[in-house]
Amino acid sequence: MQWTTPKQIAIYLTLFLCVSVSLILVLFTLAFGYGIDWLQVVIVTSVLFLPIYFISYFIIRKYIHEKVKVIYKSLSRHKGTSDDVETDLNKVDEDVDRMVDERQQEIEELKSMESFRREFLGNVSHELKTPIFNIQGYIHTLLDGAISDENVNMQYLERTSKSVDRMINIVEDLEMISKIESNRLDLEFSRWDIVNYVQELFDILEMKAKKRSVSLSMDNQSNINFVEADKDKIAQVLINLIENSIKYGKDGGHTRVRFFEMGENILIEVADDGGGIPSDHLPRLFERFYRVDKSRSRSEGGTGLGLSIVKHIIEAHRQTINVRSTENVGTTFSFTLKKSK
């Protein structure tokens, strides 16, 4: 049996002291040749038991409280908790282990956040540095006399304009993510036909697809075409996923959008038959500025924020998005939306 509370320790100490006093009393009686009066021994022991117990309990409880109080002061973050602390040593041990685990977890989270912050700032500065340096180079060249050269002045101004547009796109995407993460993005839910809308997007993206000889098709296996969602935001999701399948798929490839029944939701898949994504890249695919093929992504004009925004928009609808991919087979992005009858 473990003695871990002041009461248990006080009882143990009281019994020890009472038995010790009784033995001393018996030995003292025997030493002087008197007969042992067991009734007297019991009475003396009984009389001593309660005073010894209460004194021991008070001293032990105060001692444990003062020692444990310091521990709670050093670990707890709530003011006043040190005045009402646990005195059961087992529970104190459990509380200390729990608080230490919480601190360790917080330390790990802070380290992770710090690493993410450094990586994020590095990515932002890198993404903005390229268009800024381009703008600086073109403007300095024009100021140095090229503005009078009709062969290059308009060309440099157009390139400067494209670099400015790229910077604006990055800032707007960052602002979008900030709004979503701080719950400042207002979603306007409405009932609309997602199948018909995807066909409209196919018409809009037809020219981009033809440039790479990519065919677009739909496969509707759902009995219900209507969803309850923010049409503009989901349009942004669909455009991003379909455009990515065209840009990063293979020439002469195929992009297919499929719809499936999934309980109260509709599962939407955007699949291509391109080169696929290496498995080690998949866990980080939705991170801000993360690129599988950095040089190709920038040449295609992306900001590196599209998939992060897609994920945030779907999660703002309280739905999920997933990606599966096999190299040389293709990539499929799938997400759910709530049905609307």
How many CB atoms neighbour CB 47 within 10 A?
11
The residue written with tokens 């295609």 in the block is 300
Question: Pairing mode, if any, of strands 215-221 and 189-193?
Answer: unpaired
Contact yes or no for 201/235 (Cβ under 8 A): yes
Distance CA 141, CA 151 (A): 13
Is 162 or 272 the better-scoring residue by pLDDT?
272
Secondary structure E strands in 47-167 = none
**Percent over 90 (pLDDT), the chain:** 23
Q: What is the pLDDT of residues 36-65, one digit of tens each?
A: 666 766 777 777 777 877 887 777 777 666
> Minimum mean pLDDT among 78-87, 134-143, 145-154, 280-289: which range?
78-87
How many CB atoms neighbour CB 2 within 10 A?
7
Distance CA 181, CA 120 (A): 15
Environment class of 45 (CB within 10 Å of its CB; exposed 0-12, middle 13-18, buried 19+) = middle
The residue written with tokens 């300095």 in the block is 140
pLDDT surpasses 50 at 275: yes
Q: What are phi and psi of 31, to 5 degrees?
A: -65, -35
Residue 339's pLDDT band, with cuts at 50, 70 and 90, is very high
Helix pair 38-75, 6-31: axis angle to 10 deg: 150
DSSP 267-302: EEEEEE-SS---GGGGGGTTSTT--SSHHHHHHTT-
How many CB atoms neighbour CB 124 within 10 A?
16
Distance CA 291, CA 313 (A): 19
Q: What is the pLDDT of residues 164-207, one digit of tens each?
A: 887 887 787 777 777 776 777 788 899 999 999 999 999 989 98
Q: What is the pLDDT of residues 216-250, one digit of tens each?
A: 999 999 888 999 999 999 998 999 999 989 988 88
Contact yes or no for 194/230 (Cβ under 8 A): no
For 307-325, what is the mean pLDDT? 90
Secondary structure E strands in 101-207 = 189-193
Residue 11's pLDDT band, with cuts at 50, 70 and 90, is confident
pLDDT of residue 150: 80
Contact yes or no for 226/194 (Cβ under 8 A): yes
Environment class of 284 (CB within 10 Å of its CB; exposed 0-12, middle 13-18, buried 19+) = exposed
Is 10 or 6 the better-scoring residue by pLDDT?
10
pLDDT of residue 331: 92
Distance CA 259, CA 319 (A): 15
**Percent over 70 (pLDDT), the chain:** 75
pLDDT of residue 126: 67
pLDDT of residue 300: 53
Show the CA angle centred on residue 222, arms to residues 219 and 225, nearest 5°: 95
Ordered domains of the chain (ranges, CATH) = 6-87 (no CATH), 114-181 (1.10.287.130), 189-338 (3.30.565.10)
Amino acid occupying residue 203: D
Secondary structure E strands in the chain = 189-193, 215-221, 226-230, 254-262, 265-272, 321-326, 330-338
Distance CA 134, CA 179 (A): 29
pTM: 0.57
For 256-268, what is the mean pLDDT? 93
